[in-house]
Amino acid sequence: MKTSLRIIALAGCLASFSVSAADSAQVALFTALAQCQASAQQVEQFNQLADAEQLTFTKDDEHSPWGGAAWQVPSALSINGVTSSTLVMTDRFSFYLLTSSTAPQADAAKLANGLKLKKTLDTDGYVDYQRVLDSKGTLRVVSTEDKDRDLYVGCSYPQA
């Protein structure tokens, strides 16, 4: 009886370890994506995980943009001066952290200045600041669908 309980306990520990390893790998993958450090293969890998619903992140329907998806992670990520536990994929090639803001236009301008981004859109309060990186993608600070609340900070990759 004691042996079977030990085996069950060991199996539970191993299952927790494999989920934790998957979490770490997926967080590292999303971090690389949002920092414009991912390859086209990594973009495809993340899309496959999302399509198969194999991401270990908690789905966040409240923050999911039209045509995209959002997730919560237990430990906040820090990317490009923004810290958030809300990860957002606005489309299959764009990966962001959602940052809360009560003054999104001013905060976007401040973030963009620090990241040396150029304003590419300013229409009816919606803003988009960008800088194409020599690496693989375009670093961006973008308004959310609700231009009066929050910002996206992350990276868009060229569509294959």
Flag whether pLDDT at 23 surpasses 90: no
Distance in Å from the first CA to the final CA of the chain: 57
Q: What is the CA radius of gyration of the chain?
A: 18
| pLDDT (tens digit per residue) in 122-151 | 999 999 999 999 868 999 999 999 999 999
pLDDT digits 0-9 by tens, 59-99: 999 999 999 999 999 999 999 889 999 999 999 999 999 99
pLDDT computed for residue 158 by the predictor = 93
Residue 14 has pLDDT above 50, yes or no: no
Burial readout 44-70 (b: 16 or more C-beta within 10 A, e: otherwise): eebeebbeeeebbbeebeebbbeebbb
112: tokens are 């963009």
pTM exceeds cut of 0.95: no
* Mean pLDDT in residue range 11-40: 75
Tell me, what's the pLDDT at 127? 97
pLDDT at residue number 66: 93
Share of the chain above pLDDT 70, in %: 85
Biggest alpha carbon–alpha carbon distance for the chain:
69
Q: What confidence tier does 22 reach under pLDDT thresholds 50, 70, 90? A: low
